[in-house]
Amino acid sequence: MDSDYGIPRELSDLQKLRSTYQPQLPPCLEGTTVRVEFGDTATSLDPTDSHTISRSFPNTYGQPLAHFLRATAKVPDAQIITEHSAMRVGIVFCGRQSPGGHNVIWGLLKALKIHNPQSTLLGFLGGSEGLFAQKTLEITDDIIATYKNQGGYDLLGRTKDQIRTTEQVKAALTACKDLKLDGLVIVGGVTSNADAAQLAETFAEAKCTTKNKSFEIVVVGVPVTLNGDLKNQFVETNVGFDTICKVNSQLISNVCTDALSAEKYYYFIRLMGRKQSHVALECTLQSHPNMVILGEEVAASKLTLFDLTTQICDAVQTRAERDKYHGVILLPEGLIESIPEVYALLKEIHGLIRLGVSVDNISSQLSPWASALFEFLPPFIKKQLLLHPESDDSAQLSQIETEKLLAHLVEAEMNKRLKEGTYKGKKFNAICHFFGYQARGSLPSKFDCDYAYVLGHICYHILAAGLNGYMATVTNLKNPVNKWRCGAAPITAMMTVKRWSQNPGATSIGKPAIHPANVDLRGKAYELLRQNATKFLMDDVYRNPGPLQFDGPGADSKAVTLCVEDQDYMGRIKKLQEYLDKVRTIVKPGCSQEVLKAALSVMASVTDVLSVMSSPSFGGQGSL
């Protein structure tokens, strides 16, 4: 199988045309000089987590933010790197494949060769397993040629395995030492970048020594995941999310048109995207189906299977009163884990699996309430709930057909209402789909091509500056590429610590980790959905964005959720720093009493407000 990696692709005419597209670069990444400005040291989003994170990551927590500057920028204390020694860099794909991943490799290779043609880029074959086994492919211009702007991860292959255990971390360190790497780039989502942070900490502790020098292998993370759940104050969106949502939205819109044409089916469509509902929300805002059930809403309101069934049935009945017997309902992939009683059942099942209980015997060892729920479920769902959990102990969400479960329950309830006479419409008919694999292998959108290529270049800048344990970041993404802000943020600054209440007065504290970002139920994107929910449900205002466009109208469109949210966090940090610098310039020894008093009064008020907002009890910390 290893011999299949890196072979030239057979390209269609469209693929050939796409391979000639040259992604744009922001001005700060052009040329051969790296200019980096360091900001203040980064802290965790929740100040109460700082101590726990710093103890776990003493070498990589509390590092400063980094901003990469254009050649014309006049920043006196910026670090300027003009001499670039040859580098040996490794890159590995981790997690689910996402459209655009190949352009991270291309961008990194291009930057390496521009700054020193003698540099080498090694791709690890088969994901983390290839990293542990030191299976590599040297990436060259010829090898990358037929993978530019293409979908999939088939240049190197991928893995879903974690780099988590002591043995795995040691194997990764050994591989990087044996291959004499200066840096390791990890391409992936939430879990993969958390693993990158742990590797960075381990590598910092184990500085490598040669005859001539002692040096640190730099570990860099890249936010690439179709789920769109690696979002925080530093990361606005992920490579692959734009493409996935555009491809899915066209498929959904086609189904909407079909539903409106036949006027006799309800389509239940489950969308890939793990437990968080970012893909489902974005696709809803693009295609305007009749309903979407977000996992975050279900969890926040503690909605049961019965509640969801009733909610959908009531909507079906209301539409029937207007002589409408069709509709389209979207569900996130991980909805099943957001339903409280089903999640508790899954935890029991997974606990028994870890104890070695066979699948055939699990049902007999469930608690009474869990057993009752399990027996209530249809046979196909029972079988799927018994699948062995993923490596992070979550259910195999892509294999659990929640859409069929809800369609089954809704059909049963509608038949019951029909029999009782409380529903007087036509018989309910459902058709179910799961959209995921169809989209994640797509050619990447123009946005994802540009975004991934830029991140690849940023990886080089991070390596050149010797920034270990950082993630490549771009903000201001809703604007044109020439206005994008490029930088790097310590991965540890993106970590939080989960706490669980045990007995009264007792709290269990988890390990620091990057946790998937939920859909913000107070955010602007969700508010936009709420404002249009009734119209979507009743008026059939289906919207078809059409196929993915690479040129002309629609090619430069971006995700609705990206454009409506108020982001550019890194830009605001820089603006704040500029204001603070101005204050320091004005309020110096020798300034007037009036200026000093005004400054003290304003600063006292500001610090009082910020102290309250930074406290754990303040409810607004999750907003971006």
Hey, what are 419's tokens? 């029999």
Q: What's the CATH number where 533 sits?
A: 3.40.50.460
- Asked if 221 and 289 sit in the same domain, the reply is no
User: pTM for the whole thing?
Assistant: 0.91
**Do 321 and 210 have their domain in common?**
no
Structural domain including 537 reads 241-437+520-555
398 and 479 belong to one structural domain: no
For residue 514, give the nearest of 42, 41, 53 by alpha carbon.
Answer: 53
Q: Are 342 and 373 in contact (CB under 8 A)?
A: yes
On whether residue 16 sits in a domain, the answer given is no
| Residues 389 and 269 both lie in one domain | yes
Nearest in space to 518 (alpha carbons), one of 305, 259, 231, 240: 231
On the 0-12 / 13-18 / 19+ scale of CB atoms within 10 A, 457 is buried
Segment 182-240, tens digit of pLDDT: 999 999 999 999 999 999 999 998 875 443 445 589 999 999 999 999 999 999 999 99
Is 608 within a domain?
A: no
Does residue 174 lie within any of the structural domains?
A: yes
Based on the fold, state whether residues 50 and 153 are members of the same structural domain: yes
Name 472's bridge partners: 488
Q: Is residue 276 part of a domain?
A: yes
Picking from 224, 194, 190, the residue whose alpha carbon sits closest to that of residue 456 is 224
Query: 470-475 and 218-223: which strand pairing?
Result: parallel
CB 123 within 8 A of CB 109: no
Clarify whether residues 382 and 493 are in a common domain. Answer: no
Task: Please spell the DSSP secondary structure of 382-419, one letter per residue.
Answer: HHHHTSPP-TTS---GGGS-HHHHHHHHHHHHHHHHHH
**CA distance linking residue 260 with residue 257, whole number of Å:** 5
Whether residues 190 and 208 share a domain: the answer is yes
For residue 536, the SS3 value is helix
At 47 the pLDDT is 80
- What was the pLDDT predicted at 70? 86
- Note whether 456 and 319 are same-domain residues: no
- Which is nearest to 492 in space by CA: 18, 141, 62? 62
**Residues linked to residue 432 through DSSP beta bridges, in sequence order:** 268
Same domain membership, residue 458 and residue 417: no
Given this model, what pLDDT does residue 504 score? 54
Separation of alpha carbons 300 and 215, rounded Å: 48
Maximal CA-CA distance, the chain: 88
Which secondary-structure segment (H or E) carries 114? helix 101-115
Kindly state whether residues 231 and 245 are assigned to the same domain: no
Strands (DSSP E) along 447-541, which ranges? 470-475, 485-490, 499-501, 507-509
What contacts 571, CB < 8 A, 6 or more positions away?
475, 476, 485
Final residue before a domain boundary, out of 555, 580, 603: 555
Q: Which residues in the chain come in under a pLDDT of 70?
A: 1-3, 160, 208-215, 391-393, 500-508, 567-568, 570, 615-624
Q: Tell me if 18 is assigned to some domain.
A: no
Whole-number pLDDT of residue 586: 86
Residue 480 belongs to domain with CATH number: 3.40.50.450
Between vectors from CA 192 to CA 191 and to CA 193, what angle results, nearest 5°?
95
Burial 122-157 (b: 16+ CB within 10 A, else e): bbbbbbbbbbbebbbbebeeebbebbbbbbbbbbbb
> Residue 533 class from Cβ within 10 Å (0-12 exposed, 13-18 middle, 19+ buried)?
middle
Give the up-direction half-sphere exposure of residue 447: CA atoms within 13 A in the CB hemisphere. 26
Number of structural domains (the chain) is 2
Looking at the fold, whether 489 and 544 belong to one and the same domain comes out as: no
507: in domain: no
- 265 and 279 inside one domain: yes
Residue 183 within a domain: yes
